[in-house]
Amino acid sequence: MDILTGVVTRNMLQDEHRRPKRSPTSTLARVSKSARLDTTTSLVSVSEDLSNSEFSNYKGSSCCEDASDLGGDISIVSSTTDRESDVCGIPPAWAENRAEISCGALPWFRAAQGAAYQNDGRCHGFLLSGDGGEHTYIDDEVVITRIGGDCEKKKGQLVLRKDQNPQGARVRALRQLVETGGLLRLIIGGERHPLGRKLPYKYNVMGEFRTTHIWEEKVNGHAAYKVRFEKSDLSRMSWWAKKGSPLPLPVNDRDFERKPISSECTECNQESLQVYSEAWMCLHRGCGQFGKVEKDVPRCRTFHPDFLQCRSRSTPSLKCPLPLSSNAAARKLAGASTFNEDGWKGIVCEECGRCMPRTKWAYWECPSCGWKLEIAPPLVGIDRVCLPKELEARAAERKACPPLWDIGWSVDKVSLSPYLLVTYRLEGVGSVTHILAGSDTNGRPGGPNEMFRQLQEGELGLERRKLGASLVGGTLTAHFSVNYGMPYKFIVPVDDHGFAGAPDVALRGLGRLVWATEKAAVSNGDRFEQPNELLVLGYMKGMHIGYHDDGEDTLGPTVATLSLGAKSVMRIRMKSKYYHGLKRKGGKTLREEDPVLPGCMDEDLRRELKRELEDGLIDQSQYELRRAQIREDPFKRKTAPKDPPRILELNVAHGDMVVMHGAKFQKYYEHEVIPDGNLRFALTARYVKPEMIENARHALGQFNLTPEQVYNGQ
């Protein structure tokens, strides 16, 4: 064997098999009487016919090129071989980023991070990437890697930091597959994938595998689990085989009696397989000889031919429990189910095989070849997303939500009748105005009930967009959006459409929000700035926006939102950096500016300290020192909440409007909206400062509402 290249020809393996086996070190082990331990008893498999997959017209369903073009010796390739070699076929499904792989297109792999995806105690999919650890191995039929987890990065490499738990979910899920013979699917890809060949795409579905062995080794002084996967269909050429490789050995000509060597440890009297050619070692962590080998055994080891070449017979009746793709489920969507979680998850392109999340409101579209799957969304009546008692209640009959903190608030049934007006005031910051609607406003011509229907009927251009900053590249927003009027970034950049081309329902919503914005500004004694931008968001079941603020420097002091459809909960809290007085969440460095907002952590101590500084009783250095001492109090650090507590939790119903007003509100506070799970739209209007936008785009924010689109509060 050439250790540097990791290439072993079939003839070399046969010669090795015929030679006498190297005896295990006598002080550590004795060869078992049987000399073999069959750890794959009851292991069964199935051949997944990719050419007859769920999308029969997929151009990549042929696993390899014509057999007449193949020839030469079969080779076994490790991760150290020439990475410029081409593969002989293309995968049944693929993706260009991790978010596409985990978007739901592959129901058996929905893990946004980590190598394994398990559900209900069973491992369904496993990703092979550049972090497979020492002695990662892959050839045309066998994969050996660590199971992942319990690692930390050092100098760009993942390093095991503790013993892996034998009762951990991932270990138990893989062990269950060994014991039952169940199948899973593998994916290969990432920045530094372990296959020594050029992959067709960034992430590539390999196919169905059985899990034949799971064992422990000592890595960096810790017990680490490794796993061996074996391709279930041995009759077909693997698409990732090197281009020009011969066809695999026919199943009837294979030696299924060949098993790994097993030896018994002289200390614990338990048998362990011989995994490596250079030495046998005990693989039981409770033994004093666990992982020990003679000093002259090299660190760079090669896998024993018997361990690599043993194979298990297939059982064609057994299949992976989950389908290869979510396409069949997507095609069955009908009625309200179009808007459930399955409705906005991904599918696999039936032309080119790319995994693609749903980015368009009414259909899936492949970003590579343009193939579409259109699902005509049904018209969902407001009675399908709201309870009868919610639709029948008048605004005055609804209950206002008291604040969760000691802040000023008032309830007014008269000023904006028939609406119920609830105002919450944050000292020195601004206000939150909740305008509660009811049956006496929602059912009127052109009102929220009609608008909810119109939003579904029209083509608004709603799309899901990529997040600019996320742990997983390519992650999409958990909502659909479209922007009308002046340019606005929101959480992600959004394509801008001028009001001149906005549909009537959007302008009706704008008219209502102009009215609400004016009422909030005037009640605070501030100048009214008419909104010139409207963001429309659409939520399907399971979607929501986490905590965020609308504090772009291009915006005015007021943000107004109209909610249509299912009810939701709006939560408002102080930003962590102001609550804790730190530069960033979870950090230790104090903020230079400490406004000491009402309700912040250690408010009394911080406020008194700031007063002493302003009165000249202490200088800046003393101020910083004492601030740090407050933060470093051991008891306070132990009992301090990780996240700031909520100050408001508003029950926002169909037709309600919420106005956040104040130049400092978005700076110091943040909010999130949690829908109850049914279809919902949110229309949000803001004032974008024209002086912050290039002149050529000012026309986007100009509009003239018709009399029917202007709202008067009724």
Task: Tell whether omega for the bond before 493 is within 30 degrees of 0, i.e. cis.
Answer: no
Of 325-339, 567-581, 616-630, minimum mean pLDDT range: 325-339
Q: What is the 3-state composition of the chain as percent helix, strand, coil, each rounded to the nearest 5? A: 20, 25, 50
What is the rounded CA–CA span in Å between residue 497 and residue 487?
8
pLDDT, residue 131, reads 66
With contact defined as beta carbons under 8 Å apart, do 563 and 539 qualify? no
In the chain, residues under CATH classification 2.30.280.10 are: 8-22+49-252
Q: Report the largest interatomic distance among the alpha carbons of the chain, rounded to a whole angstrom.
A: 97
Q: How big is the chain by its Cα radius of gyration, in Å? A: 32
Residue type, 693: I
What is the rounded CA–CA span in Å between residue 491 and residue 510?
20
CATH class, domain 397-574+645-690, is: mainly beta
Q: How far apart are CA 368 and CA 352, in angstroms?
A: 8
CATH code given to domain 8-22+49-252: 2.30.280.10
pLDDT top residue among 632 and 206: 206
- pLDDT grade for 221, boundaries at 50, 70 and 90: confident
pLDDT given at position 172:
95
Q: Are 244 and 8 in contact (CB under 8 A)?
A: no
| Binding annotation | 539, 548
Mean pLDDT value across the chain: 83
Tokens of 62: 């042929």
Per-residue model confidence (pLDDT) at position 637? 61
In the chain the first and final C-alpha atoms are separated, in Å, by 85
Mean pLDDT within 499-518: 95
376: CB partners within 8 A, 6+ apart = 362
Separation CA 247–CA 238 (nearest Å):
9
Cα–Cα distance, 13 to 9 (Å, whole number): 6
What pLDDT shows up at residue 434?
A: 97
Backbone angles phi, psi at 313, to 5 degrees: -70, 150
Decide if 2 contacts 76 (C-beta within 8 A).
no
| Band of pLDDT at residue 299, cut at 50, 70 and 90 | confident
| Best-predicted range by mean pLDDT (314-323, 329-338, 408-417) | 408-417
CB 91 within 8 A of CB 352: no
pLDDT tens readout for residues 569-590:
999 999 988 998 887 766 667 8
Please give the average per-residue pLDDT across 124-153, as a whole number: 83
Average pLDDT over residues 622-642: 74
Spatial distance between the Cα atoms of 563 and 559, rounded to a whole number of angstroms: 13
Which residues, other chains included, contact 239 with Cβ-Cβ below 8 Å and sequence gap of 6+? 63, 64, 87, 88, 89, 90, 91, 206, 207
Can you list the alpha helix ranges (DSSP code H) found in 137-225?
169-180
Mean pLDDT (whole number) for 473-486: 88
Q: Are 17 and 186 in contact (CB under 8 A)?
A: no
Distance CA 295, CA 287 (A): 19
Question: Model pTM?
Answer: 0.80
What is residue 635's predicted lDDT score, i.e. its pLDDT? 57
For every residue of 88-103, which 3-state class applies, written as one string? CCCCCCEECCHHHHCC
pLDDT attached to residue 436: 97
State yes or no: pLDDT of 18 exceeds 70: no
Binding residues for 2-oxoglutarate: 539, 548
CA nearest to 532, candidates 708, 670, 691, 712: 691
For residues 289, 293, 295 and 300, what is the CA-based torsion angle, rounded to 10 degrees?
-140
CB 111 within 8 A of CB 126: no
Burial of residue 555, with CB atoms counted within 10 A of its CB: 0-12 exposed, 13-18 middle, 19 or more buried: buried
Out of 46-55, 111-120, 166-175, least confident range: 46-55
Q: What is the pLDDT of residue 51?
A: 32
CA distance 109 to 348: 13
**Predicted pLDDT at 187:** 96
Over range 325-334, report the average pLDDT: 85
Residues of the chain with pLDDT > 70, as a percent, come to: 83
Tell me which of 511 and 115 has the higher pLDDT.
511
23-27 own/partner pairs: CB under 8 Å, 24+ apart: 24/263, 24/274, 24/279, 24/280, 25/279, 25/280, 25/293, 25/294, 27/266
The per-residue pLDDT for 167 is 93
Q: Comparing C-alpha atoms, which of 669, 483, 455 is closest to residue 579? A: 669
Spell out the alpha helix ranges (H) of 458-503: none
Give start-end residues of each CATH 2.60.120.590 domain in the chain.
397-574+645-690
Higher pLDDT, 343 or 65: 343
Per-residue pLDDT averaged across 104-133, rounded?
89
CA distance 200 to 187: 13
Please, which pLDDT band fits residue 36 given cuts at 50, 70 and 90? very low
Overall average pLDDT of the 90-111 stretch: 94
Q: Which position has the token pair 């930390």? A: 152
Main-chain phi, psi angles of 626, to 5 degrees: -75, -30
